[in-house]
Every structure is written in C-alpha cells, then in structure tokens.
Amino acid sequence: VNAEVITVGTELLLGQILDTNSLYLSRKLAEIGVNLYYKTSVGDNTGRLKAALEIAAGRADIIVITGGLGPTVDDITRDGIAEYTGRKLLPDNETMLKLEHFFKARRIKMSENNRVQAYIPEGATVIENRAGTAPGFIIEQKGKVIAAMPGVPSEMRPMMENAVIPFLLQKYGIGKNVIRSRSLKVVGLPESLVDEKIHDLFVVSENPSIGVYAHQTEIEVRLTAKAENTESADAMIEGLKQKVYGRIGDAVYGEEEETLEGKIAEILLAGKMTVSTAESCTAGLLSFRLTNIAGSSAYFMGGINAYSNEVKKSMLGVPEHIIEKYGAVSAECAEAMAKMSREKFKTDCAVSVTGIAGPGGGTDEKPVGLVYMGIDIKGSVKTSRHLFTGSRDMVRARAGHTALFNFYKLLKN
Amino acid sequence: VNAEVITVGTELLLGQILDTNSLYLSRKLAEIGVNLYYKTSVGDNTGRLKAALEIAAGRADIIVITGGLGPTVDDITRDGIAEYTGRKLLPDNETMLKLEHFFKARRIKMSENNRVQAYIPEGATVIENRAGTAPGFIIEQKGKVIAAMPGVPSEMRPMMENAVIPFLLQKYGIGKNVIRSRSLKVVGLPESLVDEKIHDLFVVSENPSIGVYAHQTEIEVRLTAKAENTESADAMIEGLKQKVYGRIGDAVYGEEEETLEGKIAEILLAGKMTVSTAESCTAGLLSFRLTNIAGSSAYFMGGINAYSNEVKKSMLGVPEHIIEKYGAVSAECAEAMAKMSREKFKTDCAVSVTGIAGPGGGTDEKPVGLVYMGIDIKGSVKTSRHLFTGSRDMVRARAGHTALFNFYKLLKN
C-alpha cells in the first residue's frame, strides 16, 4: 500500500511558511508501514488541486491532503475534492450544530462563509475537529482513499492519529509492516570514506537499508528496517549496526539524539573530573557547548576566549617566545593554551583551539581553515592539526565539533 | 513563466528531515516574479524521479531540483536527469581537477565514487560549488530549463543566488510581476504586543501586507508587496515600513540579513572601540557571536566564561563580598563582572551575563530564567534584569540575544 501527501496553500509556494505537516505525515505513514513515494504542494487553485489529485490517484492508493478547509475564499480543498470525485457538497448536520454552538458560546455572529465549513462531499465520513472549527473527511472512491484535514498542525495531528490512522489500519490491515530506523553519528571521516568503508553493506532498496547523509559538522549513517513488527525490525537494525560498527566504529560517537557534549558529560561525571577551555578561533563555542547540558556546573569550571595574541599572553599566560617562534596558530601554541587553561582553572582536563577561521588571514603556509587543537588530560597533552573547508561559520563549527570529538575519544580511552 | 521545485531524498519521505530547501527556493523564485504552482518531493529512486520530471515538464517552464548529487549510490539525481533528457554523463575537466586538488590538499585518497561527482549531462552548464565538492548544472531542453543543485543548504544557496537566478533573469527577462518582501527584526517586545501596536496596519489579503512571526529569540515583522516592477514594490514596502517604524522602531535593530553582531561591529569599528565579555550562564555564547563577523579581531579582545563562582573570583576578580551578599545571580555581580572584564582585558566596553538557565537551580526568589546583564561602556555601567521563559537552551539563547541587543542600543545612543 502506498500513499501520497498533498499539502495545499499558496503560502507554501511563496515560501512564507515551512511545511512541517508533510514531515509529520511522512513519519506517521512510515510508522504504520505505508510507503510514501511522492509529496506534492499545490497553491489555493481548484484546477491545479484537481490536476494534482488526478496524478496522485494514478500512482498512490491513499491520498492524504492537508490545508484549504477553512472558511475563506482561498480555502479551495473542499471544492477541489468534490469536483474531482464528482460529488455534491452537502451540509453535515452535526458539524453545523457544533459550529452554531461554537459561535453562540463566544457571542460572535456566525458569518455565511463559516457555514461553508460544515459542507462535506456526499458520502464522505466526517472527521471531527476537536481543536478547531473545520472538520476533515475521508472518501473512498474507485479503490482509492482520500483523507482531507485542515492545515493547522494542532488541529490536524489529533485527526490523523484518532481517525485517519485507525481507518487505514482497519481497511488495509497494515501495521503489520512497521518501519524503524536508527542514526549513527560519525565525526572525523569524510562522507566519501564512510561510504567506501560500508559500501558493500549497502544494497539499494534492500531491507534493512543504509543511508549516508552529510550534515555540517558530522556524517549521519541511518539504518532503516521494515518488518512485521517492531521487535523484528529492531533485530534487523541491530544486526546491521554491529557490522557498521565493525567498519567505522572508531568514528562513531553516538546514536539518535545523543550529543558529544552529553557523552563527554557522562564520562566526566563518572570520573569526577573537571574541564576548562582556552579558545581562539572558536571564541566560546566549546565552552557554550560543554554547558548545553543541565548540571554541567559539576564539571565545567570556565574558559578563556583568548582572541587577541595579547590576551593569550596576559590572561592565559602563553609564553611570548612560543607565539613569536611558532605563531599563534601552531601545535606549540595549542599545547601551551591547553596546559595554561588547566593550570589557571585548576581542572583535570583542558581543551584548546587555535586556527584561522577566515575568510581573511590565511597564507600559503597557514591557509584559511588550518586549526590546531590541544587536549590536556591530567598533564598529558595531545595536539592535532586539521584543515577544515567551508565558510568562516563552517570552519568554526567544524573546529568546535572536532575538538569535542577528539576530547571524547581521549577521555574514553 | 512558471516553475516547479523538486526535492530529492528518501529521508524527506520518511519524515527524517525537514525540507527547508523548498522554502528557500520558493521565496527566491517569488522574488524574481516566477510563479511556482507545484512543489514535489521524491525518493532516491531513478524511475520515480524520471516520472516526476516528466510531470513537471508538462506543467512548468523551469524545474529546480535539489538533492541527490553526492558521491553515494543513493545519489540518483545525476542519472535520473541524464536518462530523462537522453544525455550521456561526461566528466567535467575543471570539476575533476578541483576534486583531485581538494583530496590531495587534505591528504585523503580520492575514491572512485568521488569522481562520479564530476560527471555532468552532456551539454549542461556547470554551476560551481564553492562550499562543497558536488557541482550543480543547468540544462536547456525543448524550451524548458532544468537546474540541479546539491541538497546541502550552505552549498545550494550560493549556487542559486550566483548562478541560477542570474541565468533565469537573463533568459526570461522576468520581474514583471514581482513579489518583494522585507523583514524587520524585533527584540524586547512579545509577539502579542507587536501585534497590538501595528494591528490597524494589517488588512488581510491587502497589498502590501504584514506578517508577524515569532522566532526563538526575536519577532520578525515581514512586509510583502506585489507590483509590476521591483521599484514600485519597494516603494510600497518603504511607505508601510515607515509606519511600522513609527510604532515599534525602538525595538527594531535591523532588516533582512542584518545581525546584531553585525550592527555592533559597525559601531565599534567606526568608533575604534574594543570589547570583551564575562559570561556565566551563557558561557561563551556572547563571545562566539561577537566573533561571527570576519575581521572581529579588530574590536574583540577576549572573554572569560566564568561558570563557577570560584572562577568568577579567581580569574575575573569579582569581590568575594559581592557574591556572598547578593549572590552570583544579581545586578551587583553582573556589574562587577562587566567592570572587571573591561579592566582585565583593557577594553573600551564589556558585556556580562549571569543567570539561572535551568532546569534546576531555581528558587522562589530567584527562579529559572532570571538573568542579570551588565554593560560597561567606558566606565559607565548599566545593568538590567530579565526573566526569560522556555527550556535551558531557549533561556540561554534569549539571554545572549538580549544582551547583544542591549549592548547595541547603548552603543547607538
């Protein structure tokens, strides 16, 4: 059984609102094992909605439509579906009474166009809207199901969960075919290398399947399985996951909603260790991220954002000769920054970052994107050299993320 | 001239990622007067992409596609377009050299699947990707234009703005019925108050129109006008804008892409002034944001993220009696933090933030969300008290944004 989602509204085509409804509907349909092959957005135009319905009916069994059911002139979904299915619009008595009651209770005069909301294509099943005025409806025609709901998310979601999903489960006996997925979060390997290392585990359209997605600061490897029930799907994912860990486990720091700062927090708390920072090009990002965690005051003491060389010397105490001999962007400076931070803040660990975020300031020898990091854990310091690509924002975000990843790896071992 | 946007990716159909690309593209097309009648999302399946291209070509002049151009097996857009247009995929020499150089510079072996990214349908115009490895391309065929770009927003956006839009403007001379809009950025007033103050300027479906949108740290007031040409639309917006400024101008810090850190940078650079920070609950956010600007080393010296009280005393030099008498979350402590930061970093200005981000740590007297800020400009210190709502993340983001806004306002006057 496969479905198509149609979201209706000119505001979607003018880029005035983000289409979160289709995201929600996609997820809900996947959860009950309905395949979604296409999503379409169409404006407030009856002819174009009819054309979209025609195309959708040619390639899907179930059409889920949101938006365009309100009382105004540009709410054209009701008419579009009536015309497409060749049905009359008739008033639904129960809905009409509810509407009249709604306006009476608020002492607002009910205008004629408000009545329009109670009109439903002949033979359709009404879906009650408990959070608003416009009801939804379900039509069965020529072996296809059309479910229409309002576009306001707080109205649409309960209607989907309480009426449309139960209807689909009953009609198709689906739910026997669930889709589960799990994301692994990867740092330190480029997308192409991740792909190469797990390439043979990929087989397009196979089940379970693997997707590799590049985000700004990390790579996501998403494992997806389709099975008769949750347990089987989870077992399939687990098996594949172990193989993926076998290939790239060193570069995976967590799964799903786990964060680097959260993983670091666990280790620091368990070991009763404290941390401080010394940041040049990231200028506070590490410190801000380490304190994203509630309760971080147990391990995070503080940090110095030493942006100018003067501040690196005066506030952090980096020896002048290091900056003179090697420059502020050097392994030697990163090492001194980490050491001095650990000393000044009296912490067990310290993380330092110094680099050239750009767009200016690069040279042939030290190009934009060059970043050194230092990690001092109880007096043992490790430095690393990185060359990040992208804009100033990206270099800074990637440097911060990689520093946390390096810190996590050293803490773990 | 009308267009269709096609976003490619199974992750979109499983509800795993929100489609922000089509929002951006919709807006950009509207701005140059191109009508968008449909948006379609399709999975990583060559056959279904070809079917979507066929339908789009039947109803639109311009097809803009994002996603599916990367190096992995599930990146099928290149093949789908080549098959649909009946063109061969040929290597683009310049792109191949760039790719080889990219991997060489990073000392990473370039895998075979990376080469795939340099293959382009025969006769297509390459769109350079300055922020990543996969290029885009434009094909003209049977009177239609197909523009394909990668799905990573930071790569796609500059390609749309620097290549696709100029191409469309030149080819179609469009811009006869343009929609222009302008955002005003508001801090320090709640959405309901903004709405109340400009309510009578709102008339539904009128032209120009006003939309009020609440974002996490600020309110956006968006003015939109439709007219025959850019100049008329801009004039309509300008007239309405002056009225809006008359009502809430004090709370507006900028327009469109302007940022608080950018506005602050302008004033500091013009006045040859320097700044430092002292942060407790925001722990580096202010410092990170002030250095978002290229060239910020001219005015930003550094900052102390004084998370623990010990660090507030030892590193920043806040007098012990202030913390004992008033507590770390107090106007007195915020004042001392700003003063001491200005002194230690030898800057003209300093900004401090201290508060309770939550979820724990609140009391009846000092609840979660309570934040004090201090701004020292050349020895004159102003403090303010704020009570922010929302999660830990939101309290921190709002505190940081408001501190920058307060600093901007004081600098401006």
Taking the alpha carbons at both ends of chain B, their separation in whole angstroms is 48
Question: pLDDT at residue A114 above 70?
Answer: yes
A276-304 confidence digits (pLDDT tens):
999 999 999 999 999 999 999 999 999 99
Taking the alpha carbons at both ends of chain A, their separation in whole angstroms is 48
Enclosing H/E stretch for A139: strand A136-141
- Taking the Cβ of residue B291 and every Cβ of chain A, the question of whether any pair is shorter than 8 Å is answered with yes
**Closest Cα partner for B114 from B129, B127, B123, B103?**
B103
pLDDT interval class at A205 (50, 70, 90): low
B15 vs A23: CB contact, 8 Å cut-off?
A: yes
- Taking the Cβ of residue B283 and every Cβ of chain A, the question of whether any pair is shorter than 8 Å is answered with yes
Decide: A2 and A34 in contact? Cβ < 8 Å. Answer: yes
**Closest Cα partner for B82 from B121, B118, B55?**
B121
Q: Chain B contacts of A284, Cβ < 8 Å?
A: 277, 279, 283-288, 291, 303, 305
Residue A387: its pLDDT value, please?
95
B308 burial type by CB count under 10 A (0-12 exposed, 13-18 middle, 19+ buried): buried
Residue A257: its pLDDT value, please?
86
φ and ψ at residue B207, rounded to 5 degrees? -130, 120
Distance from CA of B193 to the nearest CA of A (A): 22
Average pLDDT, chain B: 93
Average pLDDT, chain A: 93
Nearest to B305 among A27, A36, A287 (CB): A287
Which residue stretches of chain B have pLDDT < 50? Answer: none
* Bridge partners (DSSP) listed for residue B262: none
A19 vs B23: CB contact, 8 Å cut-off?
A: yes
Residue B253: its pLDDT value, please?
97
A51 vs B74: CB contact, 8 Å cut-off?
A: no
Residue A403: its pLDDT value, please?
98
Question: pLDDT at residue A212 above 60?
Answer: yes
In this structure, the dihedral spanned by the alpha carbons of residues A183, A189, A194 and A196, taken in order and rounded to 10 degrees, is 180
pTM (2 d.p.):
0.75
Q: Amino acid identity of B215?
A: H
**Closest Cα partner for B5 from B75, B52, B44?**
B52
Q: Chain A contacts of B310, Cβ < 8 Å?
A: 301
Residue B174: its pLDDT value, please?
67
Distance from CA of B131 to the nearest CA of A (A): 5
- Taking the Cβ of residue A181 and every Cβ of chain B, the question of whether any pair is shorter than 8 Å is answered with yes
Residue A47: its pLDDT value, please?
95
**Closest Cα partner for B169 from B22, B1, B325?**
B1
Nearest CA in chain A to B20: A18
pLDDT interval class at A17 (50, 70, 90): confident
∠ CA A344-A347-A349, rounded to 5°: 110
A138-189 confidence digits (pLDDT tens):
999 999 999 999 998 889 999 999 999 999 988 987 656 777 889 999 998 8
Q: Which SS3 state, helix, strand or coil, does residue B369 take?
A: coil
Cα-based distances in Å from A241 to A126, A413, B152, B244: 44, 22, 26, 56
3-state SS string over A59-78? HCCEEEEECCCCCCCCCCHH
For residues A238 and A275, what is the distance between their CA atoms, to the nearest angstrom? 34
- Taking the Cβ of residue B39 and every Cβ of chain A, the question of whether any pair is shorter than 8 Å is answered with yes
Nearest to A52 among B38, B359, B360 (CB): B38
Nearest to A288 among B71, B288, B294 (CB): B288
Decide: B127 and B108 in contact? Cβ < 8 Å. Answer: no
ipTM of the shown complex: 0.75
A294 vs B359: CB contact, 8 Å cut-off?
A: yes
Select from A220, A287, A388, A395 the residue whose CB has the most chain B CBs within 10 Å, as the one to mutate to test that interface: A287
- Taking the Cβ of residue B158 and every Cβ of chain A, the question of whether any pair is shorter than 8 Å is answered with no
A302 vs B282: CB contact, 8 Å cut-off?
A: no
Range 237-276 of B in CB contact (< 8 A) with A: none
**Sheet strands side by side (includes A219-227):** A209-214, A219-227, A178-186, A252-255
Nearest CA in chain B to A312: B302
A300 vs B307: CB contact, 8 Å cut-off?
A: yes
Q: Give, as one character, the DSSP assignment of residue A187.
A: -
For residues A98 and A107, what is the distance between their CA atoms, to the nearest angstrom? 14
Residue carrying the six token digits 């701004």: B375
- Taking the Cβ of residue B287 and every Cβ of chain A, the question of whether any pair is shorter than 8 Å is answered with yes
Q: Give, as one character, the DSSP assignment of residue A394.
A: H
Residue A251: its pLDDT value, please?
96
Residue A175: its pLDDT value, please?
57
- Taking the Cβ of residue B142 and every Cβ of chain A, the question of whether any pair is shorter than 8 Å is answered with no
For residues B249 and B263, what is the distance between their CA atoms, to the nearest angstrom? 15
Select from A7, A8, A11, A14 the residue whose CB has the most chain B CBs within 10 Å, as the one to mutate to test that interface: A14
Nearest to B113 among A14, A192, A389 (CB): A192
**Closest Cα partner for B237 from B175, B303, B184?**
B184
- Taking the Cβ of residue B24 and every Cβ of chain A, the question of whether any pair is shorter than 8 Å is answered with yes
Q: Chain B contacts of A288, Cβ < 8 Å?
A: 282-285, 288, 305, 396
pLDDT interval class at A37 (50, 70, 90): very high
Residue B140: its pLDDT value, please?
97
Nearest to A307 among B40, B70, B291 (CB): B291
Q: Which two tokens stand for residue A297?
A: 């005051």
B153-207 confidence digits (pLDDT tens):
999 999 999 999 999 988 987 656 777 889 999 998 877 788 888 888 876 557 8
